[in-house]
Chain A
């Protein structure tokens, strides 16, 4: 351990660390604290950190999902509950579809030789160079005026936004998974073919379990983008399908802003990605292919 510098830290370093920590988690703490306060406490200039915590704001947000009717509410406003549900559906569905298409596309790009393979591989990355804001106007036009069945267009529907998120995330997912699939030894696939597996069985039973870490990384990435996205969601969704980020911004109006409810929604917004990331990162184990070939 001779390389460790064994030196007394200066007190200034400690102070700096404390400042950085406060800057990092301070806003989150404030959000959680505010979400547990009554309006009276939020608006009063005296309360600060001393208050009686209550779950009332959470009851208000989730009022239409609860099994009982919260006593303090005369009327249950479904906006925030609905937004949470929309966010979950859109993020999960787009993640699942992106991963399904992404793994298969990445596998094909790595393992199969076909015309235009190099071009496709390149263009998937080129796609990333276009900022979503540039896509906003044309996509809005397409979803509003094209692909309509009996006046039902894709704009304002889950399908529409899921389609956009899949298209947006697919290039990156393909790119990330390609590097994982390349590492799966080709002999494993040949062995599986000799053992009588058809191409889909080779893919599902041999390749897929081995690229779990890549799938986890890609799914965290995709889920978070879909969960956080504001710009396209704001333009393409209507009041019945709006996601949480859009709903929060919409409720920050000039008058009668219900801070307690907004903070509670914000706190709830943070929970699914945390759970998702925690579960998915369990799959990221290095050395998955150890022992496959050679020694």
Chain B
């Protein structure tokens, strides 16, 4: 049974519509990540679920119950904020027990719950500190602890890791993944960082300009993006896009562009076969290319490598294909000479085609 459902949800500020009628269903105990560039409406959507923003149109259902007119506290949600939002005049224990104290729970029960959560998050010896005396990572943990002490059915996270430095963010991301496994609750998580989305999510919802562009498992989105936007947003380094034209000769269909001609698989050929000379955008992930001097011409790109960025086990090559730029991710142990034109083979299934006008996947 889906526990959280958005139905034709809209948000308008005066006459300006920022969320355009989105529909979304989140399954029980699912970790859903809303991801998209800044200003795409993901935080607004989360805040509407939380009850901090009014809903202009449409409805939100929690366990089948319409909640869009209810106060935040009546929705049974817990939320972790981007800036932690810890009460500075209360110590860690007081911060974590605030909700329970408001509910007038018995003291013994509150203490038990706080100690339990503090234990889980490694905060046991910090319970008497004020937020000002904690480091960024500890504050983040307290903010999560505050959400966890409540027996909420759904947890909302609004970019909780964006204020941490890169190393700590990686660590907290792992802790968060572990925590979500332990507590087995519904999670809705907002981030602009696609790496966070990919690593944490059971399901990713990609948003742009107040629309949901695509939703699915991280692998689905990575393998089969439904539009150029999703393809470019998911994956790091981002997908390369080249202009091309479909050309057919005999029973072979190929995509031809400046300085390359790549043959399509039979399935792909079938999808494009109706229109000859169709203008398309060809997408190739940097990781779907590999250095192969003796590859067949119809399966390879001829690239002139300009720069090699060494990042450890992998290197990112910045190369040019005609007058278009393209990046390639290869293993660092293959030495690649610069300023020379070489062949890079495209892996099977590594070609993504998008319509030139609609940018939808073909």
Residue ranges of A at the interface with B (Cβ–Cβ < 8 Å): 185, 187-188, 190-198, 201, 205-206, 209-210, 287-295
Known interface pairs A188-B88, A209-B89; 5 further A-B residue pairs with C-beta atoms within 8 A, sorted by A's residue number? A191-B86, A210-B88, A291-B88, A292-B84, A292-B85
Is the beta-carbon distance between B102 and A290 smaller than 8 angstroms?
A: no
With a cutoff of 8 Å between Cβ atoms, the chain A residues found around residue B84 in the complex are: 292-294
Q: Complex formed: what's the CA distance from A107 to B176 in Å?
A: 36
Is the beta-carbon distance between A292 and B81 smaller than 8 angstroms?
A: no
With a cutoff of 8 Å between Cβ atoms, the chain B residues found around residue A210 in the complex are: 88-89
* CB neighbors of A among B68-86 (8 A): 71-73, 77-79, 81-86
Is the beta-carbon distance between B52 and A294 smaller than 8 angstroms?
A: no
Q: How far is the CB of A136 from chain B (nearest CB, A)?
A: 43
Is the beta-carbon distance between A191 and B85 smaller than 8 angstroms?
A: yes
Q: How far is the CB of B325 from chain A (nearest CB, A)?
A: 37
With a cutoff of 8 Å between Cβ atoms, the chain B residues found around residue A197 in the complex are: 73, 98, 102
Q: How far is the CB of A4 from chain B (nearest CB, A)?
A: 33
With a cutoff of 8 Å between Cβ atoms, the chain B residues found around residue A292 in the complex are: 83-88, 131
Q: How far is the CB of B55 from chain A (nearest CB, A)?
A: 16
Q: Which 9 A-B pairs have the closest CB atoms?
A: A291-B132, A293-B83, A291-B131, A196-B73, A187-B85, A195-B99, A191-B85, A292-B88, A290-B132
Is the beta-carbon distance between A188 and B132 smaller than 8 angstroms?
A: no
Is the beta-carbon distance between B132 and A192 smaller than 8 angstroms?
A: no
Q: Complex formed: what's the CA distance from A210 to B81 in Å?
A: 19
Binds A, one of B114-122, B133-141, B197-205, B298-306: B133-141
Is the beta-carbon distance between A196 and B85 smaller than 8 angstroms?
A: no
Which of B89, B102, B131 has the most chain A CB atoms inside 10 A of its CB? B89
B50 within 8 A of A: yes
Is the beta-carbon distance between B150 and A185 smaller than 8 angstroms?
A: no
Pick from B87, B134, B135, B150: contact of A206, CB below 8 A. Answer: B87
Q: C-beta contact mask, B112-155 vs A, less than 8 Å → 1, else 0? A: 00000000000000000011111110010000001000100000
Is the beta-carbon distance between A288 and B72 smaller than 8 angstroms?
A: no
Is the beta-carbon distance between A193 and B72 smaller than 8 angstroms?
A: yes
* CB neighbors of A among B267-325 (8 A): none
B163 within 8 A of A: yes
Q: How far is the CB of B87 from chain A (nearest CB, A)?
A: 6
Which of B88, B103, B130 has the most chain A CB atoms inside 10 A of its CB? B88
Q: How far is the CB of A96 from chain B (nearest CB, A)?
A: 22
Is the beta-carbon distance between B89 and A195 smaller than 8 angstroms?
A: no
With a cutoff of 8 Å between Cβ atoms, the chain A residues found around residue B136 in the complex are: 295
Is the beta-carbon distance between A192 and B88 smaller than 8 angstroms?
A: no
Is the beta-carbon distance between A295 and B135 smaller than 8 angstroms?
A: yes
Which of B99, B133, B163 has the most chain A CB atoms inside 10 A of its CB? B99
Q: How far is the CB of B336 from chain A (nearest CB, A)?
A: 42
Q: C-beta contact mask, B211-235 vs A, less than 8 Å → 1, else 0? A: 0000000000000000000000000
With a cutoff of 8 Å between Cβ atoms, the chain A residues found around residue B77 in the complex are: 194
With a cutoff of 8 Å between Cβ atoms, the chain B residues found around residue A188 in the complex are: 85, 87-88
- Which residue on chain A has the smallest CB distance to residue B103? A196
Q: How far is the CB of B80 from chain A (nearest CB, A)?
A: 9
Pick from B73, B130, B135, B150: contact of A193, CB below 8 A. Answer: B73
Q: How far is the CB of B287 from chain A (nearest CB, A)?
A: 35
Q: Complex formed: what's the CA distance from A197 to B77 in Å?
A: 13
Q: Complex formed: what's the CA distance from A209 to B83 in Å?
A: 20
- Which residue on chain B has the smallest CB distance to residue A210? B89
- Which residue on chain B has the smallest CB distance to residue A191? B85
Is the beta-carbon distance between A289 and B88 smaller than 8 angstroms?
A: yes
Is the beta-carbon distance between A196 and B83 smaller than 8 angstroms?
A: no
Is the beta-carbon distance between A194 and B131 smaller than 8 angstroms?
A: no
* CB neighbors of A among B34-79 (8 A): 50-52, 71-73, 77-79
Q: Complex formed: what's the CA distance from A294 to B143 in Å?
A: 12
With a cutoff of 8 Å between Cβ atoms, the chain B residues found around residue A195 in the complex are: 73, 98-99, 102, 146, 150
Is the beta-carbon distance between A295 and B88 smaller than 8 angstroms?
A: no
Is the beta-carbon distance between B81 and A196 smaller than 8 angstroms?
A: no
Q: How far is the CB of B155 from chain A (nearest CB, A)?
A: 11
With a cutoff of 8 Å between Cβ atoms, the chain A residues found around residue B146 in the complex are: 191, 195
With a cutoff of 8 Å between Cβ atoms, the chain A residues found around residue B150 in the complex are: 195
Q: Complex formed: what's the CA distance from A63 to B220 in Å?
A: 90
With a cutoff of 8 Å between Cβ atoms, the chain B residues found around residue A294 in the complex are: 83-84, 163
Q: How far is the CB of B153 from chain A (nearest CB, A)?
A: 14
Q: Complex formed: what's the CA distance from A191 to B98 in Å?
A: 10
- Which residue on chain B has the smallest CB distance to residue A190? B52
**Are A290 and B88 also in contact (CB < 8 A) when A191-B81, A197-B73 are?**
yes
Pick from A193, A194, A196, A288: contact of B88, CB below 8 A. Answer: A288
Is the beta-carbon distance between B102 and A291 smaller than 8 angstroms?
A: no
Q: Complex formed: what's the CA distance from A196 to B86 in Å?
A: 15
With a cutoff of 8 Å between Cβ atoms, the chain A residues found around residue B83 in the complex are: 185, 187, 292-294
Q: How far is the CB of B129 from chain A (nearest CB, A)?
A: 9
Pick from A194, A290, A295: contact of B79, CB below 8 A. Answer: A194
Is the beta-carbon distance between A185 and B85 smaller than 8 angstroms?
A: yes
Q: Complex formed: what's the CA distance from A287 to B83 in Å?
A: 17
Q: Complex formed: what's the CA distance from A209 to B79 in Å?
A: 23
Which of A197, A201, A290, A291 has the most chain B CB atoms inside 10 A of its CB? A291
Q: How far is the CB of A155 from chain B (nearest CB, A)?
A: 44
Is the beta-carbon distance between A291 and B139 smaller than 8 angstroms?
A: yes
Is the beta-carbon distance between B130 and A192 smaller than 8 angstroms?
A: no
